[in-house]
Amino acid sequence: MKSSIVKEAERLYRSGNTQEALRYYATCLWRGEEQSTELLSAWLGDRSLVSKAGEQAVCAFIASVLFTIDRCEEPLREQLWVLCHNTFDGITECEDRQDTSDRYVVECNLYRHQKNPERALDVIRKGLARGGTTSRYTFAGLTYLDLEQEEEAEKYIALGHQSDPGNAAAYNDLGDYYFNRSRWQKAGECYYKVLESQDYNDCSWAEPSWIFCCFMADANPYELERLAMCAAADINNDRARQLCERAAFELLTPNVDYLSFSTESIINGVRSMRKSNNTSGVVSCGTTCQESASSVNAMRLALEQICGRPASFVISSGKAQDPPLDETVDEEGLVLWDYHDINNPIAVVDRPSDYVGSLVGELAETEFSLGAWYEAAKDYAAKLSPEQCNELYGVMVYPPKQTGSQIAAEDWLFRVQFAAVCILARISLHELDKICKGQLDWPIIPAFTLAAWLASRDSSHAQWAEGILNIVQSRISRNNYCFFEYAYTCAAYLLPNKDEEYYVKLWQWRHAL
């Protein structure tokens, strides 16, 4: 049964009030007052639509319904896109307009909605060949942004702003581009351009975004207060509320308040397999540099979990890591792996007993908090004999099966290693030294993080923890191992009694990774 809105839109269309019909129906769809899209196919398929309503009204209509079309089921969405293009093909003459109803701007935006920025750029270039307008400059910039051509994007967005200084909305898009890449200074500069324009609608997004970028630059608590005041001043500003929540999260310490899992290339590859439900069990991947032994092990465990059986995979690395992953700092450094070649490390520790594995697994399945785990680890350590303590190293290679949780295998391995390190530290803090002097692998992360956390709780540990972190810093590549480097910056930030510049530098380093 047709709604009253559809009936009224049809009445207007049939009575010759075509422009009013298009405007009325598009407005109702935009506001969510009407859900039915039945008239889109009929009207966009009308070959005489342009002659009935005029080129400007038709372009404005298509511009208004693009987001509605995006929400349609794929077959209908594809059909409506085709009808839009057919309508543009039927436009033989058009006016040059400054606003977003310009024919070339709307057709460019149509291609952008279709995720075809190359064709979008071709269209907007045709428009620019006729003459530069505010909207053409702006959408050329946005299209270059889709293509990740930053310099061209900035140039055209600036031209659009120069053409109409009161319209800086595109700088929100440019700011979002840099924001999503954690380039806080560039993002902040873009949002500030919007604030200078003093357009309320655009500023409601730009103001909290700019303040958040200022906060991310140096973690100044004053910026947090400003962000909170911004959110409180407009309780309907979802952007401000979301950024307040994110700022609160950013103040948490990774690997202390929550676990920050591996971002190594093959681990990201496994996550993509899991997301796409690829259960072929055959994987081949090439990497620019050697992967850590635990990431190779985690990949094997994850593939078996995904496929339900042992899986075959081949890694081909372009070069060995420097410093070498198989080397230790000295003789007491922990050795878990034998590197026959750079892609196939073989474990040199024995499998742990089910008893030891179950103890570590029990701790690993609890909700993570480094303080809570370290406290609980005291009781677990008391349940182990001196002989069984060495089995904790085996758990780092051969993680126990999960009993009640459904954690991805690549993340489960890291949790198990964290739990094992906490228990080892309860046996002797010297175990942390041995791990950090050992082969460069995932277990060093819980080891140096725990050392730094202990120093933050008791400054008498500060010199010892700083010595461990200095060893680690000298061993981590700044070119290939962001996972280790990120964990290092988070841990080093915990060291007590440093000057403000030290903490700001580490904060900026962490958020640049």
Nearest Cα residue to 221 out of 503, 418, 512:
503
* pTM assigned to the model: 0.80
Q: Residue 35: count other Cβ atoms within 10 Å of its Cβ.
A: 11
What phi and psi, each to the nearest 5 degrees, are found at residue 148?
60, 35
Please name every residue paired with 312 in a beta bridge, in sequence order, or none if there are none. 282
How far, in Å, CA of 10 to CA of 7, rounded? 5
Domain ranges of the chain: 4-196, 252-513
The DSSP 8-state label assigned to residue 285 in this structure reads E
The string of DSSP codes covering 96-111 is --SSTT-HHHHHHHHH
Task: Report pLDDT for 282.
Answer: 62
Please give the average per-residue pLDDT across 357-370, as a whole number.
97
Q: What is the pLDDT of residues 134-173, one digit of tens each?
A: 999 999 999 999 999 999 999 999 999 999 888 888 999 9
Q: What is the CATH number of domain 4-196?
A: 1.25.40.10
pLDDT digits (tens, 9 = 90+) for 423-437: 999 999 999 999 999
pLDDT, averaged across the chain? 92
Instruction: Give the strand pairing for 337-339 and 345-347.
Output: antiparallel
DSSP 210-247: HHHHHHHHH--HHHHHHHHHHHHH-TT-HHHHHHHHHH
Residue 128 C-beta-side C-alpha neighbours within 13 Å: 18
Q: Which residues pair with 338 in a beta bridge?
A: 346
What pLDDT, on a 0 to 100 scale, did the predictor assign at position 427? 96
Summarised one tens digit per residue, pLDDT across range 401-418 is: 999 889 999 999 999 999
Tens digits of residue pLDDT in 462-490: 999 999 999 999 988 877 778 899 999 99
| 287 membership: H or E segment, kind and range | strand 282-287
User: Prior bond to 323 cis, omega within 30?
Assistant: yes
Burial (0-12, 13-18, 19+ Cβ within 10 Å), 107: buried
Q: Are 359 and 427 in contact (CB under 8 A)?
A: no
pLDDT of residue 45: 93
What is the pLDDT at residue 284?
81
DSSP 8-state secondary structure symbol assigned to residue 459 = G
Q: What is the pLDDT of residues 309-340, one digit of tens each?
A: 877 788 888 888 888 899 999 999 999 999 98
Q: What's the pLDDT band for 281 if we cut at 50, 70, 90?
A: low
- The pLDDT tens digits for 169-191 are 899 999 999 999 989 999 999 99
What is the predicted pLDDT for the residue at 320?
A: 86
Q: What is the pLDDT of residue 83?
A: 95
Does the pLDDT at position 286 exceed 90? no
**pLDDT for 165:** 86
Name the percent of the chain lying above pLDDT 70: 99
Residue type, 125: R
Model pLDDT for residues 16-34, shown as the tens digit of each residue: 999 999 999 999 999 999 9
